[in-house]
């Protein structure tokens, strides 16, 4: 199981340190559950120092596909690695819809992350309109294919996939576990045998009330948590639920 917390653009440095401190106090003995948190870029160094002994990993919420140079405002994968990151979110729906990320730019970022040894978490998912038109599987498969064409099946399978229906992100309306499971099964089939060990996470309005029902589904290997990861007690409760499995 893997539980990831996406802090998005929330909090000041002192809030990030406070939250990291609270998480670092979790009891990790015998825990097989991996925990990764994604603070804003500016807070990564401080957070990473605080949580390193608590077996909590840290990641970037985005990265550049480019290595270095005249790219004002961008952060490279190597820079993320350098400040203690092990993971990076790629193609989060907010990046795709609010910041114009295309299938090609997402695929290039995924490749850049793999290149330096960061584990990319590829976010895929359909809009409400696509969901209502019954196009969920088609959309998700297209998003996976775009990355597969760039990094190959082996490359795709060496990262992590997060299924995040857009209509569920930040709405309080999580998918039904059976709905999510059916998409996860499609993702798993697309990955085939090289993807037998690839983690496929669910994200979208997870909390301590609905996470367990999601985590027990056969093809759901954990969660990507947004809003609920900003409250330490709630996030720790979700981690505890994953630890039961």
Residues with a known catalytic role: 92, 164
Classify the phi-psi angles of 10: left when phi > 0, otherwise alpha if psi is within -120 to 50, otherwise beta: beta
70 or 98: CB nearest ligand PEP = 98
Q: How far is the CB of 230 from ligand PEP (least distance, A)?
A: 9
Q: How far is the CB of 237 from ligand PEP (least distance, A)?
A: 14
Strands (E), 55-108: 56-60, 85-90
Question: How far apart are alpha carbons 154 and 195 in whole angstroms?
Answer: 8
Q: How far is the CB of 3 from ligand PEP (least distance, A)?
A: 12
79 or 228: CB nearest ligand PEP = 228
Radius of gyration of the chain (CA): 17
Residue 65, classed as helix, strand or coil, is coil
Does 203 bind ligand PEP (CB under 6 A)? Our answer is yes
Question: How far apart are alpha carbons 23 and 232 in whole angstroms?
Answer: 6
Interface pick for ligand PEP out of 13, 170, 197, 244 (rule CB under 6 A): 170
Burial of 29 (C-beta count, 10 Å sphere; 0-12/13-18/19+): exposed
Region near ligand PEP per CB under 6 A, out of 14-22, 143-151, 177-185, 200-208: 200-208
Region near ligand PEP per CB under 6 A, out of 15-23, 190-198, 199-207, 210-218: 199-207
Of 161, 174, 177, 234, nearest to 206 by C-alpha is 174
Q: How far is the CB of 206 from ligand PEP (least distance, A)?
A: 5
Interface pick for ligand PEP out of 124, 169, 214, 238 (rule CB under 6 A): 169
Q: How far is the CB of 224 from ligand PEP (least distance, A)?
A: 5
Q: Taking CB under 6 A as the criterion, which residues in 204-233 touch ligand PEP?
A: 204-206, 224-228
State the DSSP code for 193: G
158 or 231: CB nearest ligand PEP = 231
Residue 225, classed as helix, strand or coil, is strand
Per-residue binding string, ligand PEP, 126-165, x by CB under 6 A, is --------------------------------------x-
Q: Are 223 and 215 in contact (CB under 8 A)?
A: yes
Size of the site for ligand PEP (CB under 6 A): 13
Provide the sign of the torsion angle of the four alpha carbons 218, 62, 49, 68, taken in this order: positive
Question: How far apart are alpha carbons 180 and 57 in whole angstroms?
Answer: 26
By beta carbon distance, the residue nearest ligand PEP is: 226
Binding residues vs ligand PEP (CB under 6 A): 6, 164, 169-170, 203-206, 224-228
């Amino acid at each position: 199981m893997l539980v990831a917390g996406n802090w998005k653009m929330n909090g000041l440095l002192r809030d990030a340190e406070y939250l990291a401190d609270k998480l670092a106090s979790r009891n990790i003995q015998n825990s097989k559950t991996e925990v990764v948190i994604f603070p804003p870029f500016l807070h990564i160094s401080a957070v990473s120092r605080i949580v390193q002994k608590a077996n909590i990993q840290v990641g970037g919420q985005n990265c550049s596909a480019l290595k270095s140079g005249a790219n004002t405002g961008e952060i490279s994968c190597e820079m993320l690695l350098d400040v203690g990151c092990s993971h990076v979110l790629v193609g989060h729906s907010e990046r795709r819809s609010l910041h114009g990320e295309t299938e090609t730019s997402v695929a290039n970022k995924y490749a850049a992350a793999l290149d330096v040894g960061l584990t990319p978490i590829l976010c895929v998912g359909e809009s409400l309109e696509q969901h209502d038109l019954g196009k969920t599987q088609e959309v998700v498969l297209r998003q996976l294919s775009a990355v597969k064409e760039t990094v190959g099946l082996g490359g795709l399978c060496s990262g992590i996939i997060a299924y995040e229906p857009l209509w569920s992100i930040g709405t309080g309306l999580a998918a039904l576990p059976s709905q999510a499971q059916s998409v996860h099964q499609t993702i798993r089939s697309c990955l085939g045998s090289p993807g037998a060990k690839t983690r496929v996470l669910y994200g979208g309005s997870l909390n301590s009330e609905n996470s367990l029902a999601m985590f027990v589904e056969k093809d759901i290997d954990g969660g990507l948590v947004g809003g609920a990861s900003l409250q330490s007690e709630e996030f720790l409760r979700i981690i505890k639920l994953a630890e039961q499995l």
